[in-house]
């Protein structure tokens, strides 16, 4: 867990990390934070691949021979601008002819897959420069086994603080702070009243939304859902709202702003995520399930419009006895967004 936290931080700062697995060993560097000097350093070690998700590869018309991953050979004459334009769709319409992309096939893509997973965990664009290394890797770099990367998001959560916080929705409010032991973002449980642990608890899993929750964005319904959920729990007299730091359906605020910029170009919310290289929803709902279990709950009345969230909670061992609709917040600015969530993500709106 310690090495995993260091690796995420290193990638954000533009440092490569060492990945080891069945395919040998490789240096991996996030495409987003790469510099010309780092790129030259990697090239001096051997042939460099640009690892992309299948979603991003499909946008670029590159072959993903490994299913969910494409291993694109870095052309000899390609510089940093080419790498970043390949990773970041912001300039796709301005620079439509970046190919042709020559994708590798054969051999293992495990190291490339792990590099992309690390980039996602670091809330960077899911694209990495990967170069195999024979023998000893350069000293001083964080090294991980491929299997260790898969631990991201599954760290144990520890309650570290709690205090009474009177709320507009209810004066009987209490906020509990949970910290993952892998150094990732903290998450919060807002408990109202004294919910009976033996009965189904009225519960909302709310993913952080800086734009909707804090500055009143009209592009989504998140702020309205947060207010309505707290008000409904307050009216009921007892319940829990989990505030999970999984901004932008798990892709981070910077990538969410990139998705918004793509929506301004005419793409819907799902298409924008795919062009960035992400899935529709990258959130890990095991976090919410683990917090609820830590609080002593096993059955929930889940406030959501998303049937997939119900299925995910049940898959995590919680019994969802009722789905409580939360249909609020439609505006002229978010109607298309909500319609897309209903049509493509199955939300019941």
Q: Kindly list the catalytic residues.
A: 281, 283
Q: Tokens at residue 75, please? A: 């052309």
Strand extents, DSSP E, the chain:
17-21, 24-30, 49-53, 69-73, 127-132, 143-145, 157-164, 173-180, 187-192, 201-207, 239-244, 299-303, 319-324
Exposed/middle/buried for residue 65 (C-beta within 10 Å: 0-12, 13-18, 19+): middle
Q: How many CB atoms lie within 10 A of CB 50?
A: 27
> How far is it, in rounded angstroms, from Cα 200 to Cα 297?
8
> 4: Cβ–Cβ under 8 A, 6 or more apart, which residues?
121, 144, 148, 149, 151, 152, 182
3-state SS, residue 64: coil
> Is the Cβ–Cβ distance between 124 and 130 less than 8 Å?
no
Cis preceding-peptide flag for 100 (omega within 30 of 0): yes
> How far is it, in rounded angstroms, from Cα 174 to Cα 170?
10
Q: Output b/e per residue, 68-106; b: 16+ Cβ within 10 A.
A: ebbbbebeeebeeebbbbbbbbbebeeeeebeebebbee
Nearest Cα to 132, choosing from 27, 30, 52?
Answer: 27
> Is the Cβ–Cβ distance between 127 and 51 less than 8 Å?
yes
């Amino acid at each position: 867990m310690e090495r995993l936290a260091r690796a995420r931080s290193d990638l954000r700062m533009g440092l490569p990390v060492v990945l080891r697995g069945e395919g040998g060993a490789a240096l991996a560097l996030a495409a987003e934070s790469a510099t010309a000097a780092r790129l030259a350093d990697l090239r001096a070690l051997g042939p460099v691949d640009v690892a992309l998700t299948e979603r991003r590869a499909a946008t670029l018309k590159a072959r993903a021979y490994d299913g969910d991953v494409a291993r694109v050979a870095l052309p000899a004459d390609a510089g940093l601008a080419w790498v970043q334009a390949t990773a970041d769709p912001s300039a796709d319409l301005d620079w439509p002819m970046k190919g042709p992309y020559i994708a590798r096939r054969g051999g293992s893509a495990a190291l490339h897959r792990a590099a992309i997973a690390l980039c996602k965990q670091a809330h960077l664009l899911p694209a990495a420069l990967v170069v195999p290394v024979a023998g000893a890797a350069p000293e001083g770099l964080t090294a991980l086994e491929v299997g260790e990367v898969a631990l991201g998001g599954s760290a144990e959560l520890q309650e570290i603080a709690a205090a009474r916080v009177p709320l507009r929705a209810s004066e009987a409010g209490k906020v509990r702070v949970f910290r993952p032991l892998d150094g990732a973002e903290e998450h919060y449980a807002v408990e109202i009243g004294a919910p009976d642990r033996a009965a189904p608890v009225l519960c909302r899993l709310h993913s952080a939304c800086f734009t909707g929750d804090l500055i009143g964005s009209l592009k989504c319904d998140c702020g309205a859902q947060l207010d309505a959920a707290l008000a409904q729990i307050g009216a009921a007299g007892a319940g829990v709202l989990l505030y999970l730091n999984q901004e932008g359906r798990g892709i981070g605020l910077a990538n969410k702003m990139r998705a918004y910029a793509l929506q301004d170009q005419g793409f819907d919310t799902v298409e924008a995520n795919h062009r960035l290289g992400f899935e529709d929803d990258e959130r890990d709902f095991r976090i919410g399930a683990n917090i609820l279990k830590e609080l002593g709950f096993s059955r929930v009345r889940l406030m959501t419009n998303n049937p997939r969230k119900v299925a995910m909670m049940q898959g995590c061992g919680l019994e969802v006895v009722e789905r409580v609709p939360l249909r609020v917040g439609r505006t002229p600015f978010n109607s298309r967004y909500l319609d897309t969530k209903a049509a493509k993500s199955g939300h019941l709106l």
